[in-house]
Structure 1
Amino acid sequence: FYPAKAEHGKVVPTWNYIAVHAYGTPAVFSDAERLLKVVTALTDRHESARAQPWRVSDAPADYIDGMLKAIVGFALPIERLVGKRKLSQNRSAADMAGVRDGLAASADVRDQTLARFIPQGVSE
């Protein structure tokens, strides 16, 4: 995606990313009532957009009880968040535009999303 490649060839591919690191003291739990609440909330969240969403209550209770015995839950009360981003800030405006345009043209929605975070109109 770097125009500089055609100009002088002194480039190597690099990865752009945005990351958030969460810090805290994790707690493990295995009680069925709490696990059922978590599994139900996750299921409802990820099934809700479907025309006929599956619900935990669709399965027999004894089956769900057995499945919950195979799950270990954990919680991470967040004590600190640290955000990091690497979005070609070390590149020229032309190279940044090339990366942004290349990622935006990708069929991968993750690439397209990342492209929207790369600044426009940055001068060298």
Structure 2
Amino acid sequence: MYQPAQFVQPSLEAMHGLIRQQPLATLVTLANDGLNANHIPLHLSDAPLPFGTLRGHVARANPLWHDLDPEPEVLAIFHGPNTYISPSWYATKQETGKVVPTWNYTVVHAYGQLQVVDDASWLRSQLEALTNQHEAAFPEPWAVADAPHEFTEKLMEAIIGIELVITRLSGKWKVSQNQPPCNQASVAEGLSASGQLDAAGMAALIKAGVKNGG
């Protein structure tokens, strides 16, 4: 990933936060017929330090788990807020006219070797951890144990676990840090009024940068 210095995200806490908030990963692997990409929700565990472990599952019918070169690293990509930035939002547009459109985004790349886990106890624990994380905000959270045991056991026969111990993490926060504070503030205002998907989240990230000195 191309990483200009001003867009590098050095905070492990921020990268872990994005992974937990946006757990649907694009998992890129090397198969016998070339690169393959699957879209899989992954649950992050903090251990082992420093980067943690990603765990998930795929259908047994998915060739990912058996058509996999075990040697190369795999790449899990997690996308955070992303938005189009109109040049009309820049405060300096009226002064110089030297402005162009761009795209702001946040993203985390997680690397490691993918392991296949064919173990019913591990798989149930993974399903419970993933479900509990995403049900926690509901007033009456659903749990795996709420479904009949025989029913879930039968469904589990059709899936298999995957695990990636993260060996390196790369985060990129392109949130207008390359603009002067006046443009950062005006872009945040423009986003807030735009109604774009992710606009509120991106505006908050830009305002946080302004508050911290750009």
Q: Same fold (TM over 0.5)?
A: yes
Higher relative contact order (CA 8 A, sep 6+): 1
Task: Report deviation, 1:76.
Answer: 1.1
Once residues 69 and 12 of structure 1 are traced to their aligned partners in structure 2, the CA distance between those partners, rounded to angstroms, is 53
Once residues 164 and 139 of structure 2 are traced to their aligned partners in structure 1, the CA distance between those partners, rounded to angstroms, is 33
Contact 1:3 1:94 in 2 (8 A): yes
Q: Which residue of 1 aligns with 2:148?
A: 60
Once residues 93 and 175 of structure 2 are traced to their aligned partners in structure 1, the CA distance between those partners, rounded to angstroms, is 18
Once residues 157 and 98 of structure 2 are traced to their aligned partners in structure 1, the CA distance between those partners, rounded to angstroms, is 56
Q: Which residue of 1 aligns with 2:189?
A: 101
Alignment of 1:73 with 2:154, yes or no, is no
Task: Report deviation, 1:39.
Answer: 0.4
% of aligned pairs identical? 44
Q: Which residue of 1 aligns with 2:170?
A: 82
Change (3 A) 1:8 1:59: same
Alignment of 1:14 with 2:82, yes or no, is no
Alignment of 1:34 with 2:154, yes or no, is no
Specify the code of the residue in structure 1 equivalent to 2:107.
A
Q: Which residue of 1 aligns with 2:135?
A: 47
Give the TM-score of the pair, scaled to structure 1.
0.77
Task: Report deviation, 1:55.
Answer: 1.4
Q: Which runs of 5+ in 1 are unaligned?
A: none
Q: Which runs of 5+ in 2 are unaligned?
A: 1-88
Task: Report deviation, 1:63.
Answer: 0.9
Specify the code of the residue in structure 2 equivalent to 1:34.
W
Give the TM-score of the pair, scaled to structure 2.
0.49
Q: Which residue of 1 aligns with 2:112?
A: 24
Root-mean-square deviation (CA, aligned residues, Å) is 2.6
Change (3 A) 1:46 1:13: same
Once residues 52 and 45 of structure 1 are traced to their aligned partners in structure 2, the CA distance between those partners, rounded to angstroms, is 13
Aligned residues: 123
